[in-house]
Amino acid sequence: MRLCRLFASIAFGLFVLTACNPSSDKPAAPGTATSTPASSAAATAPSTAPAANQPPAPVQASEQNGGQYTMLATPQPTEDSSGKTEVLEFFGYFCNHCHALDPALNAWVKKQSNRIAFKRIPVRPDEGKLYYALEAMGKLDALHEKIFNAVQVERKRVHNESAAADLVAQFGVDRNAFIEQYNSFSVQSKVMAAANTAKAYGIDGVPMVAIDGRFITSGSHAAKRPGTEQTEAGLYKSMLAIMDELLAKARQERGAGAKAATK
């Protein structure tokens, strides 16, 4: 099991991603998520709204290096202007595989901090409101791991305002201040932007990582890497190795492009 499968639907004009069981708002139990083939990673919503729970139309992309990563035909714009390479993790607190990857990914991000601009993209709107509200309050870094453990280990639910507020209050967050941020325009805007980003990258399963607006890899991609141990730990070890290679590739290509532009 490598990815938590997502299903696309349209709700109130917002692109909504729901977890392994589309009829439930409970977190996916360990070992119950449906694995997603790497080839299905390239999927996104069409310009007209599909029927609820119908798979979206594919984004143009191609598998590279024996399927170890996918390259988008149309690169997505990146936000960082400091010369660092943008790295996005599409994730969900509902996803046990994201939880399993998180410690190793955090260590990788720390190791690469002088070369990358890292950002997480929550793929479910309910979790996005929780995530961006805590970010606005300056509480996200301190509580990210605690939220993951609460959802995945303690089986807490964060599917609506009341449940999310109850949970963060347990960690000492002012409940009223959190609710104000949870319903703020800025948080709503970030949730919609996250949904649009996931759509543009064709994300239909998590965890997935996008590098430099062009390259996407995941545990399912890593399964195709020669010599990969076919366990969750082995898959994510190979996934991080692929990310190292993609980061080097992106930086090399951008460096070559910059040199060519100055000639």
Distance from C-alpha of 8 to C-alpha of 124, rounded to nearest angstrom: 10
pLDDT at 11 over 50: no
Give the lowest-confidence range in 31-35, 45-49, 69-73, 89-93: 45-49
Give per-residue pLDDT as tens, 202-228: 998 999 999 999 999 999 999 999 999
Prediction pTM value? 0.79
Mean per-residue pLDDT, 229-235: 92
Tokens of 44: 């996104």
Which is more confident, 29 or 179?
Answer: 179
Please give the structure tokens belonging to residue 129.
């409101």
- Percent of the chain whose predicted confidence (pLDDT) is above 90: 66
Q: Given a cut of 60, is residue 9 above it in pLDDT?
A: no
18-27, 46-55, 187-196, 245-254: which range is least confident on average?
Answer: 46-55
Kindly report the average pLDDT of the chain as a whole number.
81
Does 5 have pLDDT greater than 50?
yes
Beta carbons of 213 and 77 less than 8 angstroms apart: yes
Residue 127: the pLDDT is 98
CB 118 within 8 A of CB 180: no
Residues 6+ apart with CB under 8 A from 192: 14
Q: How far apart are CA 23 and CA 33, in angstroms?
A: 14
Give the chain as a 3 state SS string: CCCEECEEEEECCEEEEECCCCCCCCCCCCCCCCCCCHHHHCCCCCCCCCCCCCCCCCCCEEEEHHHCEEEECCCCCCCCCCCCEEEEEEECCCCHHHHHHHHHHHHHHHHCCCCEEEEEEECCHHHHHHHHHHHHCCCHHHHHHHHHHHHHCCCCCCCCHHHHHHHHHHCCCCHHHHHHHHCCHHHHHHHHHHHHHHHHHCCCEECEEEECCCEEEEHHHHCCCCCCCCCHHHHHHHHHHHHHHHHHHHHHHHHHHHHHHHC
pLDDT band of residue 38 (cuts 50, 70, 90) is very low
Q: Give the model confidence (pLDDT) of 106-146 as tens digits.
A: 999 999 999 999 999 999 999 999 999 999 999 999 999 99
pLDDT at 55 over 90: no
Give the pLDDT band of residue 62 (cuts 50, 70, 90).
confident
Q: Looking at residue 34, what is its pLDDT?
A: 34
- CA–CA gap between residue 125 and residue 17 (Å, rounded): 8
